[in-house]
């Protein structure tokens, strides 16, 4: 019995990844329109989940967006017109991949620019760091002076041996 449950669990896990949130009543009868709708939906962000496309999300808003995309396609809109309509209505955040434009330039160049600046700062800090000068040995006079100081300290405090 345990083997049967293990097999059922493995089969369920194997097919769980292939499941999408698109319900059968949402699917368009025209396979060409449905393929276009799936392609558009795969590139639109679920505004509730924010890390899933509307094609993969079970949220009610994602379902409404999927239906909206299919309605616009059925009405005769092109793929670009549908995307433009959705972006105009919900903002550019609805796109899973942000567009490259003047107002999003900071998003595209900030991370690489910060990485370059950080690497340059580390490089300059490493170059400016001076190695410590090697310790020079003491002269005979310095050794004698140190020994006399050490002897006078030992005689002043006899209980503090080394």
Mean pLDDT by 10 residues, the chain (162 residues): 69 51 70 87 86 86 89 89 91 84 80 93 87 76 87 69 52
What is the Cβ-side half-sphere exposure of residue 84, based on CA atoms within 13 angstroms? 5
CB 47 within 8 A of CB 94: yes
pTM of the model: 0.54
CATH of domain 2-102: 1.10.8.640
For residue 158, give every residue at least 6 positions away whose Cβ sits within 8 Å of its Cβ, in sequence order, or none: none
Q: What is the pLDDT of residue 95?
A: 87
Supply 2's token pair.
């345990």
Residue 114: its pLDDT value, please?
Answer: 92
Identify whether the C-beta of residue 55 lies closer than 8 Å to the C-beta of residue 42.
yes
């Amino acid at each position: 019995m345990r083997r049967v449950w293990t097999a059922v669990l493995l089969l369920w896990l194997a097919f769980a990844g292939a499941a999408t949130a698109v319900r059968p009543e949402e699917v368009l009868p025209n396979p060409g329109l449905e393929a276009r709708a799936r392609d558009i939906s795969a590139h639109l962000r679920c505004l509730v989940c924010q890390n899933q496309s509307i094609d993969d999300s079970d949220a009610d808003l994602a379902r409404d967006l999927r239906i909206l995309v299919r309605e616009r396609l059925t009405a005769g809109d092109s793929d670009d017109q549908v995307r433009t309509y959705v972006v105009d209505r919900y903002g550019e955040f609805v796109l899973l991949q942000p567009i490259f434009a003047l107002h999003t330039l900071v998003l595209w160049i900030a991370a690489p620019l910060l990485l370059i600046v950080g690497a340059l700062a580390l490089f300059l800090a490493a170059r400016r760091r001076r190695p410590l000068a090697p310790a020079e040995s003491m002269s005979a006079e310095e050794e004698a002076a140190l020994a006399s100081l050490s002897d006078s300290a030992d005689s002043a405090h006899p209980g503090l041996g080394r």
